[in-house]
Structures are given as structure tokens and as C-alpha cells.
Amino acid sequence: MAVRTQDERLRPISLWQRLLLRPELGSIAGLVVVFGFFAIAAGGSGFLTWAGTRNYLEVAAQLGILAAAVALLMIGGEFDLSVGSMIGVAAVMMAILSHPDYGGLPISLSLVITLGFALLIGYFNGWLVLRTGLPSFIVTLAMMFILSGANIGFTKLITKLTIVSGLGDSLAKDPLSFLFTGAFLGLPAAVWWWLGVTLVLSWVLLRTPFGNWIFGAGGDPTAARNVGVPVRRVKITLFMLTAAAATVVAAIQVMGLGSANVLQGMGKELEAVAASVIGGCLLSGGYGSVIGAGIGALILAIVQQGIVYTNIDLDWFKVMVGGMILGAVILNNYLRKLSMQVRR
């Protein structure tokens, strides 16, 4: 090593090797494949039209908002399985608070209260994980059951039903609801939220000191702590962030539908993890990309909506999603190994 000549050392790194360093590379390849497949298989039946595009973008948007926050949390080395139940809780809470028969509050105020409650749950998740030292997988699994159970219990106690509907009036009065249900340049608000959240979180991850701490806290918490990274604070902040993202998704759904259902958001926690993993996040933490998670959400949405335009029976959707996840993870793993080869 010491005898290596100057020329060899300054050898430029090929564009390919630079690309390999990007965690999103695998998901971009996946996006091309999936889009290509449906463009060919369903291009004639409306997949490529503006309506078809809008269709899968809307689905991608809600998942993508969640996935962006979940990706950051995963890079920070933790999991949140309670985020799906959190959507249900936030949706019902918001609906009950602003329903004329119950809370009667303006929707913006109930949104703020709900957000505060969600942040509290997120804080509690993080505090519990760090206090007990248990894997966040287990702690948030428990929280998932507690939240969804309590949600059904409280909702039935208050409304005798599991659905809160009839919010139309209260919504129409509030100008704020436009922020969640309106449209701009032909795209629904959810898509703008998705783009905004993804860009801001990606910027935080890559361009701020806090982003560096997220990588550190997830990569090796002990090492990070030894060099002065406030690992505890970073992780708790990330748990709060995922709960906040769940609230945003809940707001979009409640204001869009004018009603809330206790089962809302069920299973979304795993879809968000799937999107993050397709986008290059490692389950072990310390590596990944917010942009990649967004692309992962887009892939899942294209598969889900694209299948409608083909002759394939809808029952096969989950098989395709599973195949996508497996394929993407194997590809990502292979690419990462390639990029990590010692360059001597």
C-alpha cells in the first residue's frame, strides 16, 4: 500500500462506481422494469392515460408520506409497527373532535390536537424502546395492538359505531381542508404533500448535521454516542416524526372522505417498510435513502393500480408485491456488496 504510485492513487472513480454508491439505484431499476411491464401489458387499456397516472400517484402519495418518515426511522436503526394503527387512531380522533354531534371543533383545531397526541405517542414509543433496551420491533408491535384495540374500544364507547361519518359540513366551513383535499396543477394535494415531505426529509438526511447523526445512530449507536451524537434524542425525534406522518395521512383520508374508520391504515406499517426496503434501506439501520423510499412507494402503487388495467385477476396483487420486495432486496444487496468491495 505504501509503495503505490501517485498515478494509481489518483485514478478517477468510474461513473458506474459512483452510481453504485447510491442506495436508490436498485429501486430505480425496479421502477423501470415495473413501469415497462405495465406499459406493455396494460398500455392499451388506459394505464398510460392521465387518469391512470393520477390514479397510481394518489395511492403512491399516501404510502410515500408514511414511507419517507419510516425510511428515516429505519436508517436511524429502529422500526415502528404501530404507525398503521396510528393512522386509524388519528383519523377517528380528528373525526370525533370535529363532528357536530361530539367535539364540534373546527377541523384545523382538531388536527392540531390530534397531531399533539400523535407526537406524544411517538415520544412514548421512542422513550420505551430506549428505556427498556428492547428491540423496537417488539415494543411497537405491542403498541400496534394497544392502539388499534383502544381505538375500537373508545370509538364504540363514544359513538356506538366503528365508523364516524357526516363530517361534510364541518369540512366545508374550514379553508384549511383545501390543504389536504384540494388540487394544484392538476395533481391532488396528497401528491404535493408526498413530494414536499420526501424532499424536505431527504434534505435533512443528506444536508444537515442532524442527518449525519441519523446515519450514526443507526449504524453504530455506541460508537456514535462516544463521539458525542445525542443518539437518544435523534431516535425519539424519529419516532415522533413517523407518528406525525401518520397524522398527515389520516388528515388526507378523513378530509377526503368526510368520514373515519377505526380500521383505516391497517397494514400500512408493513407497506411502508416494504417501500423503504425496496428503496434501499437496510433493516439493520445506518443505510438507506428517503428518495428511494419514495420510489419504492411509487413501485408498489404502480403494481397495485396497474394490475387493474391488465387481464390479471386482482387476487394476484399480493403475489406480485411479494415478488417485487424479494427481487428488490436481492438486487439491492448485490449492488451494495459490489460498491463495498475494497478498492485497492
Partner 1 sequence: MTPLIELRKVSKYFGPVVSLKDIDMRVYAGEVHCLLGDNGAGKSTLIKALSGVHQPSEGQIYMEGQPVVFNSPRDALDKGIATVYQDLAMLPLMSISRNFFLGREPKKKVGPFTLYDAAFAAQVAREEMKKIGIDIRDPDQPVGTLSGGERQSVAIARAVYFGAKVLILDEPTSALGVKESAVVLKYIVQAKLRGLGVIFITHNVHHAWAVGDTFTVLNRGRSYGTFKKEEATREQLLQMMAGGEELEALAVELDLIAKKDPTTAAQIEHKAAEELHKPN
Residues of this chain that bind partner 1 (CB under 8 A): 1-2, 6, 9-13, 21, 207-209, 211-213, 215-216, 219-220, 222-224, 226-229, 282, 286-287, 339-344
* Beta carbon of residue 11, minimum distance to partner 1 (angstroms, whole number): 7
Our CB check for partner 1 shows the closer of 52 and 216 to be 216
Our CB check for partner 1 shows the closer of 17 and 45 to be 17
Q: Is the dihedral of CA 330, 331, 334, 340 positive or negative?
A: negative
Please return the burial class of 106, using the count of CB atoms within 10 Å of its CB with bins 0-12, 13-18 and 19+.
middle
**Residue 134 to residues 103, 139, 164, 211, Cα–Cα distance (Å):** 38, 7, 36, 24
- Maximum CA pair distance of the chain? 81
Our CB check for partner 1 shows the closer of 21 and 172 to be 21
Our CB check for partner 1 shows the closer of 167 and 281 to be 281
* Beta carbon of residue 277, minimum distance to partner 1 (angstroms, whole number): 15
Our CB check for partner 1 shows the closer of 9 and 160 to be 9
* Beta carbon of residue 340, minimum distance to partner 1 (angstroms, whole number): 5
Our CB check for partner 1 shows the closer of 226 and 311 to be 226
Complete DSSP assignment for 241-294: HHHHHHHHHHHHHHHHHSEEETTTTTTHHHHHHHHHHHTT--TTSS---HHHHH
C-alpha cell at 13: 472513480
For the chain, first and last CA: distance in Å?
8
* Beta carbon of residue 73, minimum distance to partner 1 (angstroms, whole number): 17
Q: Is the dihedral of CA 193, 199, 200, 201 positive or negative?
A: positive
Residue with cell 375500537: 152
* Beta carbon of residue 69, minimum distance to partner 1 (angstroms, whole number): 20
* Beta carbon of residue 229, minimum distance to partner 1 (angstroms, whole number): 5
Our CB check for partner 1 shows the closer of 330 and 338 to be 338
* Beta carbon of residue 313, minimum distance to partner 1 (angstroms, whole number): 41
Complete DSSP assignment for 162-189: SEEE--HHHHHH-GGGHHHH-EETTEEH
Q: How far, in Å, CA of 228 to CA of 212, rounded?
A: 12
